Amino acid sequence: WAAIKLLEGDNEVKKEITNINPEIVSTAEKLAKEIEEIHEHSCSTVITSERYEVASRIAREVREMTPPIKPSMAERIHTLTTHKISGYPIMVLSVLSIFYLIFAFGDYTSGLLGDSLFGLKPIFEGIFGTGVFGKLFWGGVMEGIIGGVTVALPYILPFYFILYFLEDSGYLSRIAFLMDNFMHKIGLHGKAFIPIMLGFGCNVPGCLGCRIMETTRERLLAAFVVTLVPCAATTVIILGLVGAFVSIQWALALYIIDLLIIFFLGRLAFKALPGEPTALIMEMSDYRAPHLKTVLKQTWFRLIEFVKMAFPLIIVGSLVIKMVEIL
């Protein structure tokens, strides 16, 4: 018992053993470091895992075997989506499908809204005239609002809807589980993938989502990575403008380079910030049919949050650009 407590770093036991023989404490610290280097987790986490493994083995040896129960459909889907062979292809296919649906819907909706809203220009010019005030009102305020409605919302709205649809169904926690090993390479665990996914819609709610991380160090590191993620508006420029005027191959190449830069800088920040990453402890709820009312409510709250934060900046920026253009 005392040896295990020493390896776990129990201060009270350390104090007692130091009074008896300090060499035992130093030897235990060396062994604890070796265990951490081998398993890439804290010694206490490794010991806890081993303790559960021993308890499970003892339980298997003494319990009476009952006929196996046929797994339910939800259990079979869980096994399929978290397996190391089938889980990753399903995850990649799901993420690619999500972005395809978002941009297909966004491109179509953006065109419809743009044609309708920009068609109001003659009406506003008739009311406010074409002087300096009229130009500032239409070119600054209204074009800023229309730009936000036609460029941002058609992509962000479906993104949030799909994201919370996946979360309510239980699949998002499986993605976090699959991404845990990869995220540890930049000092985070799989749960950080959720705010990063939010960042692909908009960096602001992505940064707010970093509050789910356990430590201040992990929240800072996750927020740093999220700010580097190309949001929906950036992705529109990369895949839209570059794809249209250069080629889709160059657009995808830019996107891949951006992701590589995120990984490199995230790894650099992980090395620079003191501390160690924590192990992933996350509840995996059972698969279920998403509750549409809950999904719509969460989507609405996130959308309002985005509008309150982003639209004033868009309008002010558009107004400043128009003032510079007129002057």
Residue 233 has pLDDT above 90, yes or no: no
Residue 227 has pLDDT above 80, yes or no: yes
What's the CA gap between 117 and 129, in Å, rounded?
18
Q: Where are the beta strands (DSSP E) in the chain?
A: none
Q: Is the dihedral of CA 95, 96, 100, 103 positive or negative?
A: positive
Tens of pLDDT along 235-287? Answer: 766 666 666 677 767 777 877 888 888 888 888 888 887 776 666 666 777 88
**Cα distances (angstroms) measured from residue 301 to each of 160, 167, 296:** 10, 15, 9
Rounded mean pLDDT, 215-243:
77
Under a CB-based contact definition with an 8 Å cutoff, are residues 230 and 201 in contact? no
Identify the pLDDT of residue 181: 81
Tens of pLDDT along 68-117? Answer: 678 778 888 888 888 888 989 998 898 888 877 877 787 788 778 877 77
Residue with structure tokens 């070119």? 139
Nearest-CA neighbor of 282 among 199, 170, 165, 162? Answer: 170
What's the chain's average pLDDT?
Answer: 80
**Cα distances (angstroms) measured from residue 134 to each of 34, 213, 259, 263, 321:** 72, 48, 43, 47, 15
Residues in Cβ contact with 126 at an 8 Å cutoff, skipping those fewer than 6 apart? none
Identify the pLDDT of residue 296: 92
What's the CA gap between 113 and 142, in Å, rounded?
14
Q: Cα 292–297–300 angle (5° rounding)?
A: 125
Tens of pLDDT along 24-73? Answer: 888 888 888 888 888 777 888 888 888 888 888 888 888 776 776 787 78
Under a CB-based contact definition with an 8 Å cutoff, are residues 148 and 314 in contact? yes
Tens of pLDDT along 112-157? Answer: 887 777 777 777 777 777 777 777 777 777 877 887 777 667 777 8
Nearest-CA neighbor of 206 among 189, 188, 231, 174? Answer: 231
The 10 Å Cβ neighbour count of residue 281 is 9
Identify the pLDDT of residue 216: 82
Identify the pLDDT of residue 240: 63
Nearest-CA neighbor of 177 among 107, 324, 314, 281? Answer: 281
Output the six-digit token pair for 239.
């895949």
What's the CA gap between 164 and 11, in Å, rounded?
44
Residue with structure tokens 């730009």? 147
What's the CA gap between 186 and 196, in Å, rounded?
13
Identify the pLDDT of residue 130: 72
